[in-house]
Amino acid sequence: MVVNRDKAPTAQETLLQMVQSPALRSRLLVTIGLLVLLRLGIFIPIPGINRAAFAASLSNNAALGFLDLFAGGGLKALGVFALGIIPYINASIIIQLLTAAIPSLEDLQKNEGEAGRRKISQLTRYLAGGWAVIQSTLLTIGLLGGLSGASGFVYHPGIWFVIETVLTLTAGSMFVMWVSELITERGIGNGASLLIALNIVSSLPGNLGKTLELAQSGNQERLGGVVIVLIVFLAMVFGIVFVQEAMRRIPILIARRQIGRVQANDKSSYLPLRLNQGGVMPIIFASSVLSLPSFLGGSLNNPAISNFIGNYLRPATISYDLIYFVMILFFSYFYASLVVQPDEMAKNLKKMGASIPGIRPGQDTTRHIQDILNRLTFLGALFLGAVAIVPQAVEGIADVRTFQGFGATSLLILVSVAIDTSKQIQTFVISQRYEGMVKN
Give the single-character DSSP code of 247. Answer: E
SS3 272: strand
Asked whether the beta carbons of 309 and 293 are under 8 A apart, the reply is yes
Give the phi and the psi of residue 253 in degrees, each rounded to 5: -120, 125
Question: What is the C-alpha separation between 299 and 29, in angstroms, rounded?
Answer: 39
Q: Nearest Cα to 106, choosing from 341, 328, 348?
A: 341
SS3 263: strand
Report the pLDDT value the prediction gives residue 60, as an integer from 0 to 100: 60
Facing residues of 271 across strands? 250
Report the pLDDT value the prediction gives residue 290, as an integer from 0 to 100: 76
* Number of Cβ atoms within 10 Å of the Cβ of 45: 13
Report the pLDDT value the prediction gives residue 148, as an integer from 0 to 100: 44
Asked whether the beta carbons of 324 and 290 are under 8 A apart, the reply is yes
Question: What is the C-alpha separation between 291 and 187, in angstroms, rounded?
Answer: 30
Q: Where are the alpha helices (DSSP H) in 82-219?
A: 86-101, 103-111, 113-141, 159-186, 191-201, 204-215
Asked whether the beta carbons of 97 and 120 are under 8 A apart, the reply is no
SS3 200: helix
Report the pLDDT value the prediction gives residue 170, as an integer from 0 to 100: 92
What residue ranges of the chain have pLDDT lower than 70? Answer: 1-11, 13, 18, 57-74, 145-152, 206-207, 214-222, 255-268, 294-303, 305-306, 309-312, 314-316, 395-409, 432-440
Question: What is the C-alpha separation between 291 and 438, in angstroms, rounded?
Answer: 52
SS3 259: strand
Report the pLDDT value the prediction gives residue 150, as an integer from 0 to 100: 47
Count of alpha carbons within 13 angstroms of residue 5, beta-carbon side: 7
Question: What is the C-alpha separation between 390 and 350, in angstroms, rounded?
Answer: 44
Question: What is the C-alpha separation between 334 and 282, in angstroms, rounded?
Answer: 9
Report the pLDDT value the prediction gives residue 121, as an integer from 0 to 100: 86
Asked whether the beta carbons of 338 and 330 are under 8 A apart, the reply is no
Q: Nearest Cα to 176, choosing from 409, 184, 50?
A: 184
Give the single-character DSSP code of 249. Answer: E
Let me know the angle formed at the C-alpha of 228 by 225 and 229, rounded to the nearest 5 degrees.
85
